[in-house]
Amino acid sequence: MARLTVTVLFIGFSVFNTWYLTQGSFWAVFPPFQDPAKIQIFGDLAVALTLANLWIFFDIQKHQKPRWLAFLFFALTLAFGSMSPLLYLFLREWKLLGDFSPLSNT
């Protein structure tokens, strides 16, 4: 079920972002501090993406993957926003980053 949910979210949001970028309005939300509503949305997004990236970092560490992978997703988040955590979840669920099965403590 998790794999289906992540796949639908990733593909759906990718299609939406592609459509949005083809409309030529990518910079419409900038500057993000024009009014209180944009400040709140920008702040909320920053907090959520920070938490997502922290989870990615600790998840990569927990499963003994190389740390550069976490920094790659941090950089992708700066460039592409929430598409980066969605990409991470998509790749993780489809095991395209290697095996992420729970590790034994022995």
pLDDT digits (tens, 9 = 90+) for 9-65: 999 999 998 887 787 766 666 677 778 888 888 899 999 999 999 999 999 999 999
pLDDT for res 51:
97
pTM value is: 0.82
All residues at 6 or more sequence positions from 56 whose CB lies less than 8 Å from its CB, including other chains:
70, 73, 74, 85, 88
Domain that holds residue 57: 41-96
The pLDDT of residue 106 is 40
Is residue 13 in some structural domain? no
Q: Is residue 51 part of a domain?
A: yes
Burial of 14 (0-12, 13-18, 19+ CB in 10 A): middle
At residue 4, the pLDDT reads 93
Query: Cα separation of 76 and 83, whole Å?
Result: 8
List the structure tokens of 80. Answer: 């592409």
Total domains in the chain come to 1
Distance CA 105, CA 101 (A): 13
